[in-house]
Amino acid sequence: MAELCKLPGIGRRSAERLIFHVLKAPADEVDRLARSLDDTKSGVRHCDVCYNLSERSRCRICEDPERDRSRVLVVEQPRDLIAIEQTGQYRGLYHVLMGRLSPLDGIGPDELTVDALLDRVRDPSKQPGGVGVEEIVLGLNPTLEGDGTALYVKERLDELGSGVTVTRLARGLPSGGSLEMMNKAVLADALAGRRTL
């Protein structure tokens, strides 16, 4: 039960319920569950290029010749990538940093995949199809740590002197929200980033 409690969202009560289910279930069903967990762990790896989750050495996005390979969107985690893919509005490639700079948690630049990103920009042969990177879109979380990480990545890219365009996702009012419910930081961003119609 201690093992189950380590899972996210599973407390003592849920763990008990799961155990009683396992005890009542037929042995072969339990076996299949255990095997599928093992397979997931051993079968899923990170893409050699972008660090997305993948079952092969390159993920299906890096392998897709229809994607715009001159554009790379940088995210913190594979689940951010999934959220952006679900919009259907982005046709470029990705780069997963595998976290964000967080000095308090002891996460520095060496824990992230920034060097691999710089390699992709510096050397087109590291890119799918050998296509040179023209735009890096920073898609980190709109938080203090995300902003700090974006700044760090931007600085490293500038040092490279590659002339790649660095953009970041727009900050402002979230579509569907209501002005009076927004906090000051959101409204200040919305004011500062206002655009001519």
Site residues, a copy of itself (CB under 8 A): 75-77, 79-80, 82-84, 86-90, 137-143, 150, 154, 165-180, 182-197
Task: Give the C-alpha separation, 55 to 40, whole Å.
Answer: 9
> Which three-class secondary structure state does DSSP give residue 179?
helix
Nearest residue (CB) to a copy of itself, 69 versus 168: 168
Q: Are 40 and 51 in contact (CB under 8 A)?
A: no
Here the tokens at position 156 are: 């490293």
- Residue 130 DSSP code: G
Nearest residue (CB) to a copy of itself, 26 versus 163: 163
Nearest residue (CB) to a copy of itself, 24 versus 195: 195
In the complex, what is the shortest distance from the CB of residue 3 to a copy of itself, in angstroms, rounded to a whole number? 26
Nearest residue (CB) to a copy of itself, 117 versus 138: 138
In the complex, what is the shortest distance from the CB of residue 42 to a copy of itself, in angstroms, rounded to a whole number? 26
Strands 45-46 and 53-54: antiparallel
- Residue 184 DSSP code: H
Strands 53-54 and 68-75: unpaired
